[in-house]
């Protein structure tokens, strides 16, 4: 029996950054130390995500308990995994999917499945005596070797993303709206990207500086610059959605940094959540009803006026024709990320590739439910010139999996949230530790190539 044979599986109910129950799974191989993973949870969720299982027992945590998912791990999943080789991640994940038997993991729960999948990787790393980033790298290289990675996997940065370990350029939340901050604004996230930083440490230092200057600017203008949303971004009630862009721009300048050259802007529109009855209804500040053409016009105007190089979910998850218009208009100028649109799902991403929709995919482990399926989506994206952006969820924990995962796969971008709240800082601090390894490169803004630009 190999030293990585699974000898114990155990799950428990713990709590995430919103004080909601979530699943923690432990897997042990032989007499080695236990591997552990905690599952995140989203608020801004799309219809096509794998389904996290909640107890729906109204008298306990308003139905949000996860004792049933925990029981599934301790019963059915444990019986199947014990004795299997934790180092064979693909086989483990395939068995987990087969055991559940549904396309969206709704029987056992995506939270039960993902926790078991990730904890298995951690257990294998413990049994082999290697850091988890190296275990993820080992699993990724197996995908890499057997995929169709070749010269077509060539991005604007002049590099082959995914071919070596890389520290990511961080995409960091500054102002929150939508479901992350009580719908104070229609747009969900206003973020910055330190495209001009020469290394990760400098990038993070710049981010902290801009965040602090932004809080001071908001307070001095009479807006809330202290309280924060689910992901640590400020949640002020501004006069318009565009007003937030003005504040972020001023905060960059107040940090003695050049907008566009040093720090670029990104927005997560999360438009599915204000798309109703065939129209995009902006109600937080503007009270406007827009069609897809109007939204594309608005976003193009913002790109022309601000150093925006990335837009996420600019249109709704089922508005494929609108997405085609947006991609045709802006796809050669900026990064267009599909989150609700693709849901880390290879079938939906392939549809986007076939229809020339978007040029980037947000990668969320709990949207698809296993480590192997997540990597399959990342591999498919890279093979077709789409940039993967590894992302946290709004309901996060102290688990740092995504920091190690993004370095191991070398895809070059990470979106975690802001530089407040320790469930966010846990990931950023892990990257600071990893940045001390001279074998890990850093491309920074080169990931975006010609998209790093100043705005006159």
Per-residue pLDDT reduced to its tens digit, 255-273: 999 999 999 999 999 999 9
CA–CA gap between residue 193 and residue 25 (Å, rounded):
33
User: How many residues appear in the chain?
Assistant: 456
The pLDDT of residue 157 is: 58
Q: Which residues, 6+ apart, have CB-to-CB distance to 65 below 8 Å?
A: 13, 21, 54, 55, 57
User: Please, is 158 exposed, middle or buried when counting C-beta atoms within 10 Å of its C-beta (0-12, 13-18, 19+)?
Assistant: exposed
Joined together, the tokens standing for residue 86 give 């934790």
Question: What's the predicted TM-score (pTM) here?
Answer: 0.94
Would you give the distance in Å from CA 393 to the centre of its chain?
6
CA–CA gap between residue 62 and residue 74 (Å, rounded):
24
CB 226 within 8 A of CB 236: no
- Hunting for tokens 């407040």 — which residue is that? 420
Count other C-beta atoms under 10 Å from residue 324's C-beta: 18
3-state DSSP percent of the chain in helix, strand and coil, to 5: 40, 20, 40
**Dihedrals phi, psi of 232, to nearest 5 degrees:** 90, -5
The pLDDT of residue 48 is: 85
Q: Is residue 328 annotated as a catalytic residue, yes or no?
A: no
Per-residue pLDDT reduced to its tens digit, 349-396: 999 999 999 999 999 999 999 999 999 999 999 999 999 999 999 899
Give me the torsion for CA of 443, 266, 406, 379, rounded to 10°. Answer: -90
pLDDT-derived band at 454 (thresholds 50, 70, 90) equals: very low
- Which 3 state secondary structure label does DSSP give 37? strand
15-24, 173-182, 219-228, 280-289: which has the minimum mean pLDDT?
173-182
CA–CA gap between residue 410 and residue 404 (Å, rounded):
10
The pLDDT of residue 159 is: 64
CA–CA gap between residue 239 and residue 217 (Å, rounded):
15
CB 34 within 8 A of CB 352: no
CB 210 within 8 A of CB 252: yes
Give me the torsion for CA of 326, 328, 332, 334, rounded to 10°. Answer: 0
Structural domains in the chain, CATH included, are: 6-129 (3.30.390.10), 146-451 (3.20.20.120)
Catalytic, out of 24, 126, 231, 317: 231
pLDDT over 50 at 150, yes or no? no
pLDDT over 80 at 214, yes or no? yes
Work out whether strand 308-312 and strand 264-268 pair parallel, antiparallel, or are unpaired.
parallel
Per-residue pLDDT reduced to its tens digit, 240-249: 999 999 999 9
Specify which residues 282 forms β-bridges with. 288
Could you please report the per-residue DSSP string of 138-178?
Answer: HHHHHHHHHS--STT---TTSS-TTSS-EEPEEEEEEEE-G
The pLDDT of residue 230 is: 85
Q: Is residue 231 annotated as a catalytic residue, yes or no?
A: yes
Catalytic, out of 325, 364, 415, 427: 364
Per-residue pLDDT reduced to its tens digit, 7-58: 999 999 999 999 999 999 999 999 999 999 999 998 756 688 999 999 999 9
Per-residue pLDDT reduced to its tens digit, 401-452: 999 999 999 999 999 999 999 999 999 999 999 999 999 999 999 999 755 4
Residue 146's alpha-carbon distances to 91, 140, 141, 142, 149, in angstroms, are: 15, 10, 8, 6, 8
CA–CA gap between residue 419 and residue 183 (Å, rounded):
21
CB 193 within 8 A of CB 310: yes
Per-residue pLDDT reduced to its tens digit, 101-144: 999 999 999 999 999 999 999 999 999 999 999 999 999 998 76
pLDDT over 80 at 228, yes or no? yes
CA–CA gap between residue 61 and residue 422 (Å, rounded):
23
CA–CA gap between residue 83 and residue 95 (Å, rounded):
13
- Per-residue pLDDT averaged across 83-97, rounded? 97
- Hunting for tokens 């413990």 — which residue is that? 126
């Amino acid at each position: 029996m190999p030293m990585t044979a699974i000898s114990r599986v155990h799950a428990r109910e713990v709590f995430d950054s919103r004080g909601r129950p979530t699943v923690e799974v432990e897997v042990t191989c032989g007499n080695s130390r236990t591997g552990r993973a905690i599952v995140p949870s989203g608020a801004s969720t799309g219809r096509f995500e794998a389904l996290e299982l909640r107890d729906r027992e109204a008298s306990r945590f308003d139905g949000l308990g996860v004792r049933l998912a925990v029981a599934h791990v301790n019963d059915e999943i444990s019986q199947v995994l014990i004795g299997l080789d934790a180092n064979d991640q693909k086989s483990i994940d395939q068995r987990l999917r087969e055991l559940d038997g549904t396309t969206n993991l709704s029987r056992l729960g995506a939270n039960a499945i993902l926790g078991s999948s990730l904890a298995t990787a951690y257990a294998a790393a413990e049994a082999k005596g290697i850091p988890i980033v190296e275990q993820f790298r080992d699993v990724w290289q197996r995908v890499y070797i057997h995929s169709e990675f070749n010269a077509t996997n060539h991005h604007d940065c002049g590099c082959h993303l995914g071919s070596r370990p890389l520290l990511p350029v961080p995409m960091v939340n500054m102002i929150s709206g939508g479901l992350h901050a009580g719908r104070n604004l229609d747009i969900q996230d206003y973020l910055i990207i330190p495209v001009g930083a020469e290394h990760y440490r400098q990038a993070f230092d710049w981010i902290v500086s801009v965040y602090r200057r932004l809080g001071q600017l908001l307070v001095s203008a009479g807006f809330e610059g202290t309280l924060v949303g689910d992901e640590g971004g400020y949640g002020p009630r501004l006069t318009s959605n565009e007003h937030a862009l003005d504040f972020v721009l001023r905060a960059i300048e107040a940090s003695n940094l050049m907008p566009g050259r040093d720090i670029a802007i990104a927005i997560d529109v999360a438009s599915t959540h204000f798309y109703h009855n065939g129209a995009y209804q902006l109600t937080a500040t503007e009270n406007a009803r827009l069609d897809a053409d109007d939204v594309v016009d608005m976003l193009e105007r913002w790109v022309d006026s601000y150093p925006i190089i990335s837009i996420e979910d600019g249109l709704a998850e089922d508005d494929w024709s609108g997405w085609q218009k947006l991609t045709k208009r802006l796809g050669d100028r900026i990064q267009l990320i599909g989150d609700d649109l693709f849901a880390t799902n290879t079938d939906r991403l392939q549809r986007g590739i076939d229809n020339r929709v978007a040029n980037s995919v947000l990668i969320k482990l709990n949207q698809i439910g296993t480590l192997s399926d997540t990597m399959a989506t990342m591999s498919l994206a890279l093979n077709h010139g789409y940039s993967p952006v590894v992302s946290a969820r709004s309901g996060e924990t102290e688990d740092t999996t995504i920091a190690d995962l993004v370095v191991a796969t070398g895809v070059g971008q990470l979106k975690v949230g802001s530089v407040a709240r320790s469930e966010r800082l846990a990931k950023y601090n892990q990257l600071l530790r990893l940045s001390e390894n001279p074998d890990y490169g850093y491309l920074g803004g080169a990931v975006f190539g010609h998209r790093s630009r100043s705005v006159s």
